[in-house]
Structure 1
């Protein structure tokens, strides 16, 4: 076990040393359950969609925001976006609000992930719900997107499956340390999401409260 630990630490140091922090003028600040979270956000493609993503390490954290439409297209326009359920965004009720009120530019999804036991053994995950919350977005002539947000996320807890730990062995541990190093060196999250990655959702549930959220992100 000592050999595994030493090897993992060496890998973390090596990858971090060769990585270069990608500097930018982007900013994100928000209180997560009353605690300040500040980092540099980026806009990255996850699957078929572009997300505003803000990541940090020690512990690993990732806050993602998607702005789009009911026909699942990305959206980047000034206006008010209705925050919807991250897993079931296109319900009849949400579409009715969107069409009847006529004040929403689109819909938004928020997801927050935080490592609660190293190295990426357990996570606390929060997802937006249908709480009639909104995100206000403004696109400036300087190419920066500015957004403000607050809200309550449905919180769940995730723990690495015993089978993933046992059968993954040293290779899985090294991959985790490598992913951590990539996140630290580049600012981009690397496989931080526990869903579908060998983790089991626990019975415990709670709420994650986001307040005073502000984003400034270069998009053009």
Structure 2
């Protein structure tokens, strides 16, 4: 057992040394249930959808925004975005939003926070369709885009399954530690999400409030 623990620690240190901190001039600041969350987000493109991933460690936190525009552009467009839920795909509802002429597109928001380390329990929040809020994206100075937002997320709680803890053993623990190092070094999330990864949702439900949120992204095609 001591040999296995030593190997785990050595591997963890080696991974930490191998990853250099990636420079990032982006910024995000928001109050989450009255507590400040401040970090440097990243923008990622996936086809005609782009999203922002804003992450931190100790404890692990991940705030993500997915954007889709009516024009199917894979680059951010200045304007107002309606926050919707993850099941938003109804053509009738989509067309009614387009016809309003108020929005450039829609956005989906998800927040994940580690509540028991190492990644044993999580608090997860997902945006809602009705009264979900809005995100306003404007041009800022020096080639930046700025987004302002406030919203209320539907909150749920997750706990690691006993079977996952027992069967995963030191290998699962090592993976968790390596994921933490990767997130800390790069700014990208590495499996900061319990869904589909050996966790069970509890019956506890609540709300997560995001207020006075602002992100600034260096615009690059």
TM-score norm. by structure 1 comes to: 0.89
The answer to whether the Cα contact below 8 Å between 1:84 and 1:94 also exists between their aligned partners in 2 is no
SS at match of 2:104: strand
- Per-residue deviation, 1:52: 0.5
- Cα pair 2:49 2:67 within 8 Å, conserved: no
Shift in CA distance, 152/6, structure 1 to aligned 2, threshold 3 Å: farther
For the residue of structure 1 that corresponds to 2:64, the secondary structure is strand
**Alignment map for 1:120-135 (pairs within 5 Å):** 120-130=119-129, 131-135=131-135
How many residue pairs match? The answer is: 219
Change over 3 Å in CA distance of 1:170–1:132 after alignment to 2: closer
Q: What stretches of structure 1 of length at least 5 have no aligned partner? A: none
* Change in CA separation of 1:207 and 1:93 when aligned onto 2, cut-off 3 Å: farther
The CA deviation string for residues 114-152 of structure 1, in whole angstroms up to 9 with x for no partner, is: 001111111100000011511000235743221000010
Corresponding residue of 1:14: 14
3-state secondary structure, aligned to 2:37:
strand
CA gap of 1:62–1:46, structure 2 versus 1, over 3 A, is farther
CA contact (8 A) 2:70 2:104 kept: no
Instruction: Please give the TM-score of this superposition, normalised by the length of structure 2.
Output: 0.89
Using the TM superposition, name which of 54-63 and 72-81 deviates more. 72-81
Q: Name the SS of the counterpart of 2:170 in structure 1.
A: helix
Change (3 A) 1:71 1:122: farther
1:100-111 alignment runs, 5 A limit: 100-111=99-110
Q: Which runs of 5+ in 2 are unaligned?
A: none
Q: Which residue number in structure 1 is paired with residue 208 of structure 2?
A: 208
Contact in 2 for aligned 1:77/1:139 (Cα 8 Å): no
Within 5 A, what are the aligned runs for 1:22-171?
22-45=22-45, 49-69=49-69, 74=74, 76-85=76-85, 87-91=86-90, 94-95=93-94, 97-130=96-129, 131-140=131-140, 142-171=142-171
